Structure 1
């Protein structure tokens, strides 16, 4: 009887499972085994003789290029697995393989049912006890409806291919929604890593990863951003009407945010009683969450509250070219980004607010790494005062 080393078994597994070798072991041979090692019965079934004298069964197969080993129980003990029982268990596993199923993955789900993507996502949402009902509803819709294919997957097995397969359909039809779903998937997987339920890189991350796989919306590029002088901003705002696109432009001017941050704004990000808008890190240029103070003037620019996106046309966010096209037609030579320049010039030329407050209002990183480490606050109140001054400058009260 031949004794196989672990290395030789792994080297021969790819064809062992596929070729049905005649049963090699017998009860008599098993009882006669005294030397530690691995003994093949055939077609993926093995008996391991441990150094301590015990014997146990296991099954090896290859799926998607990965070798898997499944334990089938001990030959002796309180619940002994005889040769006949081991062969029946091996037959059951071969039947699953023949159906295109993965016994290891299914066993993992059964054994760790609380670690499927859906279960972990539910725990993630439940831990956010400060979320409002509509925020919770949106996360559930995005994770459990748009990413339904991930629901029963063990959280530790989710890879880039699975993420792409889940995102691709929604990405091609509604790219803005696809971006939001991706951000939520990344958050749940980060949560699972922090809870030690998975290891390795996050397959849902964008920068340096999915950005190379999923089509990214084109950007308006140019070496310079034309800007109105801040003196001309009030007259520009005065001609804006009540259409959703014009409201969006006014909102961008009054908050001094980047156009993409406002264009894809979601109602779940707003705390209207507190007059704040929290832009998640997934949607900021710096990769850090930004809390934007909202003046009454900025709040007045918001349309009537809906279920998801704030500024929409026919139920979808405006395209990336909608604002540039409107401004090019009505204010040639000016870009949306130019309003941020106008705000910065106003803050520096017309106010006594410190430079770092204006930079923070624009969502810029302030200072070097040491300064950032020591200044952890977001100066929300000071930024609110600056934005209020800007709003009153842009929308002066009518003279009595």
Structure 2
């Protein structure tokens, strides 16, 4: 009924409406006109004279409530989908008083929303509950991970707040495939590996929102059977080969390394054949020195899966004295991302840290009898197609340990 009252008020041409309405509609319209006539019942004088607690109608859904304590406040009532809703419009007096004229203007705005098919209560709830934006949900998701290391938290914040910034202000329930593709496409074309990691983090936040009943439906950030058909598969090869030493020259390089923290880190990277970032941010909590194992968490691997690295005696010897927090530190902080490349560029021009992984791969293929997949697994690469990966659940740890032992002996020989 409120919707029709507002419609008649807005259009004003009641004669035209009466000509096109049916007889039944004419009767209904008359009842609405009666309501218009009894609307605006209150005046400033009447409001000031109200002393008894209760509810006083101004008409067309607008009411004034007189509280027992003596204060007065406005509210608006409507019914939508069989549910009665009440929306507060503010107090008649106080720091920010809502006069009769302001209350009527606010009521008109609500009637306009109803006439437009919108639900004022639902929209107010969304505005009030700001944590329904992707950014706020992501902040909540990260804050709940109290077992994360500082570097892990920073990486998630960087990926979600910077790389997925275009999603930040969007309502979590409105995130769809098109928005995710728009956010990921530029990154996908320049840094596909990073793009895949960002995608995985977006997927985790949306799963979290679904679990909290903040959104429904399938996860639009999922890869298998969805984004894999939209985005070109994130290649681990960026289009250029990393300059590398021949594996025959690696022993001389290792022999020339000193005992400083940074050079120990470089030696550890060479002996384990891991990615620089995986070792640079290594934390003591990831090591089981008794079993000579180092477990790299999923958020720091390119595959997004946990990687267990077997450690040789030579690799363990490269570690500093056991402690807490980051393993390789300078002034109490993990080395910067450019520390190793800068050192190598200065002391061994023409090669890169990542090139040592290539040297390891060539050594494994030329100088050992280990199968190709063992060398690939040692490098933390995915092996085989999706079917093969589904059936192969083991990590060939002992075979990889044997391979790394031969490599360490070669490097330190």
Which TM-score bucket, shorter chain as reference? Answer: 0.5 to 0.7
> Of the candidates 345, 351, 355, which is equivalent to residue 338 of structure 1?
355
**Residues 380 and 221 of structure 1, relative CA distance in 2, 3 Å threshold:** same
Match of 1:374 among 372, 391, 405: 391
Say whether residues 1:107 and 2:125 are aligned partners. Answer: yes
1:91 aligns with 2:103: no
Q: Decide whether aligned partners of structure 1 residues 325 and 73 sit closer, same or farther in structure 2, where only a CA change above 3 A counts.
A: same
Tell me, yes or no, if the aligned pair for 1:241 and 1:247 is still in contact at 8 Å.
yes
Residue 191, structure 1, aligned to residue 180, structure 2: no
Aligned partners of 1:224 and 1:114: how far apart in 2?
44
Deviation string 1:133-170 (CA, Å, 9 cap, x unpaired) is 5x3676678879997x999997546799xx9xxxxxxx
- After superposition, give the CA deviation of every residue in 1:157-185 in whole Å (9 maximum; x if it has no partner): 6799xx9xxxxxxxxxxxxxx99x97995
1:24-173 → structure 2 map (5 Å cutoff): 33=28, 73-74=78-79, 91=106, 107-108=125-126, 117=137, 121=141, 125=145, 133=147, 135=148, 155-156=172-173
Give, in whole Å, the separation in 1 of the partners of 2:285 and 2:370.
Answer: 27
Assess if the C-alpha contact under 8 Å between 2:341 and 2:352 holds in 1: yes
SS in structure 1 of the partner of residue 295 of structure 2: strand
The CA RMSD measured in Å over matched residues stands at 5.8
Change (3 A) 1:76 1:349: closer
Within the candidate set 327, 352, 362, 2:369 is matched to: 352
Q: Which residue of 2 aligns with 1:227?
A: 245
Q: Distance in 1 between matches of 2:210 and 2:394?
A: 24
**1:239 matches 2:263:** no
Whether the 8 Å CA contact 1:73–1:80 is kept in 2: the answer is: yes
CA distance in 2: counterparts of 1:139 and 1:118, whole angstroms: 14
Q: How many residues align?
A: 297
Change (3 A) 1:368 1:236: same
Q: Is the 8 Å Cα contact of residues 276 and 353 (structure 2) preserved in structure 1?
A: yes
What's the TM-score once normalised by structure 1's chain length?
0.52
Moved more, 336-345 or 187-196: 187-196
| Alpha-carbon separation, structure 2, partners of 1:34 and 1:378 | 77
Greater mean alpha carbon deviation, residues 356-365 or residues 377-386: 377-386
In structure 2, distance between residues paired with 1:244 and 1:281: 24
TM-score (structure 2 length as normaliser): 0.51
C-alpha separation in 2, matches of 1:112 and 1:336: 45
Distance change >3 Å, CA 140–CA 283, structure 1 → 2: closer
